Amino acid sequence: MWRPPERIRHQVRPGRWPTADEAAASRLFSPLRLGPLELRHRTWVPAMVPWRATEDGHVTDAVIDWYRRFAAGRPAALVVEATGIRDIPSGPLLRIGDDRFLPGLESLVRAVRRASGGETRLFIQLIDFLTIRRRPDPEKFFRRYLTITRRHRQALGMPDDAPEAAVRTRLLALSDTARREILDARERESLERGYRERVTDMHLPHIADLPQALPELFATAAVRARKAGFDGVELHYAHAYTMASFLSALNDRPDGYGGTRENRVRLPLEVYRAVRAATGDDFVVGCRFLAEECIPGGSTLADAVAFGAAFAAAGMDFLSLSRGGKFEDAAQPRVGEAAYPYTGPSGYECMPSFISDAQGPFGRNLEPAARVRAAVREAGHETPVVVTGGIHGFAQAEAILAAGRADIIGFARQALADPDWFRKVRAGRGAEVRLCTYSNYCEALDQKHKEVTCKLWDRVGLDAPGVKKTADGKRRLTAPAWDEKDTVRA
C-alpha cells in the first residue's frame, strides 16, 4: 500500500475511558432517529468485505459467524459488506441479484438479531461495479486481446487490408518502447494495468444504458433486502465503483448524466427514488459517498457538499461519508493480478495506516464530513451524517458529536480489532478494549481476496475447542469471545 513520504509513526490515542455512568449519560450512547426507526445509540460498523462468501456469491456459515461476532458486541448499526446487485459471476463477493440468495441472507439477519438481542440495526450495502480484468501477459495481449485497427496498421506502415495475424506478428517483433508508442492511452492501460471499463465508455451499449438499467437493478435488490429482513440498505456511491464514477468530476458523459454537478448526481438520485418507491417510507435508505475523491481532477469537497444537500433533499435517511479509494491512482498490478483501488494515495485516504504524514491517520475525514453536515443543516435537513476513519476512542467520538461535526460514529477496523468495543465502553470497561493499531494487515488480506482477520487476535487460542480456522489452520476466523467475568486489566 502507498504511504505518505513523511513516514511518521503514529500511536493510537484512545484518551480517557468513561465510567459506566458517564457512558450512559453520553451523546455517543444516546438514541438517534434514523428515518423510520430509532438507533439505540450513535455507533455504526461500516461495511467491510471479509471474503467469506461462496464463489457464486452465497452466504456461508463463515459469513454468518463473522456478522454474529460483530453483533455480539452490540453496535447500534451494522452494515453488511458490499453486495452485488446483479446476477452475474463476481467471485466470492456476496450477491443479492436473485431470489436464490434470499435464504442465506435471511439466516444472516436472524443470526444478527439473536446475537445482539435485537439491539443492532442491520443494513446491507448494495454495490454495482464495472468490468476490470487482470493485467495480461504481454504476449497474450498482442496475440489475442488487442483489437487491431487501421491506426495500428498505419503506424506500422502496413496497408489497410493487411491481415490481422501479420499485424500482431509485427507488433510482437517490436521493442517494448516502440510498441508502447503505437498504442493509444486506453490500450496502454489495458496492457500495463489490465482492461478497465469506465462509465464514460459510451461506445459500449451496456455502459450507455446504465441510466436505464441501474434504477431497477438497485430497486429489486433493495426489495430483496427488505424481504430478507434487513432494516435498510446503504447504496454504495463511494470508492471506485459505478455510482461513484457517475458522481466523479472525471465523468464527462454527454447524455445528461455527466459533466455538470447536476448531471453527475442525476443517476444517483434516480436510483435512490426507484429504491424508495419500491421499498416504501418505512424502510431505511441511505448512501455512502465520498467527501473527496483525492485524485487529480476528481470531485472535491465542494462537490460532496452539493451532493449531500441533494441526497438529503431527496429524502435519504442517512449519509455515510468515506474518502478516496479510486482506481485512477492505484498501483500497477503484477501480471496476472487486477488493479486494486486502495493501493495509491487515494486508497491511503480511505484506509490510512499508522505510518502517515503530520496529519496522521485519525479522523482525516472529519473536517470534510463536518462541512457536508453543515451544508445539509443549512439546507434545512436533519439527515444524520456518519463519519468514519481512524476513530477508536470514546473521548474522540464524544467530542465529534459534541461539536456537531457528525451524528453517528463509524468504527470499521477498530470494530474488527475488538467487536466488543461497544459493550466494554458502555460497561465502563474501556481499558479492556483491544485497540486497533492501524497496521493494515487486514487490508492487505482484503487486497489478496484472502479471508480477512486481525493480527491482534487471529493466532490467539488457535487450539481451543470449537475455534474455526482458515483452510491452512494458521488463523482463527473471528475474534475470541470476551469473558465479561474477567477482572479489569490494570
Ligand X SMILES: Cc1cc2nc3c(=O)[nH]c(=O)nc-3n(C[C@H](O)[C@H](O)[C@H](O)COP(=O)(O)O)c2cc1C
Binding interface with ligand SF4 (CB under 6 A): 413, 416-417, 436-442, 454-456
Cβ neighbours of residue 1 under 8 Å, at least 6 residues apart? Answer: 342, 343, 347, 348, 353, 440, 443, 444, 447
Q: Tell the smallest beta-carbon distance from residue 453 to ligand SF4 (Å).
A: 7
Residue 444 · residue 451 · CB < 8 Å: no
CA 68, CA 285: separation in Å to the nearest integer?
A: 23
Q: Which is nearer to ligand SF4, 215 or 352 (CB)?
A: 352
Is 120 an interacting residue with respect to ligand X (CB under 6 A)? no
CA gap 424, 481 in Å, rounded? 12
To the nearest whole angstrom, how small is the minimum distance from the Cβ of residue 265 to ligand X? 19
* 242 counts as binding ligand X under rule CB under 6 A: no
By a kind-dependent CB cut-off of 5 to 8 A, residue 455 interacts, out of ligand X, ligand SF4, none, with ligand SF4
Number of residues that bind ligand X (CB under 6 A): 25
The option from ligand X, ligand SF4, none interacting with 437 (CB < 5 to 8 A, set by class) reads: ligand SF4
Binding-site member from 304, 412, 417, 425 for ligand X (CB under 6 A): 412
CB 107 within 8 A of CB 94: no
Type of residue at 132: I
Q: 301: number of CA atoms within 13 Å, CB side?
A: 12
413 binds ligand X (CB under 6 A): yes
The three cell numbers of residue 374 are 453543515
Return the residue of 128, 231, 398, 446 that touches ligand X, per CB under 6 A. Answer: 446
Dist CA 120 CA 213 (whole Å): 33
Rounded Cα distance between 328 and 296, Å, is: 9
- CB under 6 A: which stretch of 192-200, 240-248, 263-271, 408-416 binds ligand X? 408-416
Taking CB under 6 A as the criterion, the residue among 363, 389, 393, 419 binding ligand X is 389
For the window 324-363, what string marks contact with ligand X as x by the rule CB under 6 A?
A: --------------------------xx------------
Q: How far apart are CA 23 and CA 196, in angstroms?
A: 48
Asked if 452 interacts with ligand X (CB under 6 A), we say yes
Please, which of residues 189-218 interact with ligand X by CB under 6 A?
none
81 binds, among ligand SF4, ligand X, none (CB under 5 to 8 A by kind): ligand X
**411 lies in the site for ligand X, by CB under 6 A:** yes
Q: Return the residue matching grid coordinates 462509465.
A: 199
Span of 129-137, 188-196, 411-419, 470-478 interacting with ligand X by CB under 6 A: 411-419
C-beta of residue 125 within 8 angstroms of C-beta of residue 83: yes
Query: What Rg, from alpha-carbon coordinates, does the chain have?
Result: 23
Helices (H), 379-490: 394-402, 413-417, 421-426, 441-447
Bridge-partner residues for 248, per DSSP?
Answer: none
- Given the complex with ligand SF4, which of 307 and 438 has the nearer CB atom? 438
Per-residue binding string, ligand X, 87-116, x by CB under 6 A, is: ------------------------------
By CB under 6 A, tell whether 288 contacts ligand X.
Answer: yes
**Cα torsion at 425, 429, 431, 436 (round to 10°)?**
-40
Nearest CA-CA partner of 214 in 134, 298, 270: 270
Name the binder of 222 from ligand X, ligand SF4, none, CB < 5-8 A by kind.
Answer: none
Query: Which of 2-10, 143-151, 388-396, 476-484 is the region at the interface with ligand X (rule: CB under 6 A)?
Result: 388-396
The option from ligand SF4, ligand X, none interacting with 456 (CB < 5 to 8 A, set by class) reads ligand SF4
Strand partners, 124: 80, 233
Cα(407)–Cα(401) distance, rounded to whole angstroms?
6
**Nearest distance, CB of residue 238 and ligand X, angstroms:** 5
Give the separation between CA 226 and CA 289, rounded to whole angstroms: 22
Is residue 390 close enough to count as binding ligand X by CB under 6 A?
A: yes
Summarize as ranges the residues that interact with ligand X (CB under 6 A).
Answer: 46-49, 81-82, 125, 238, 288, 322, 350-351, 388-391, 410-414, 442-443, 446, 452
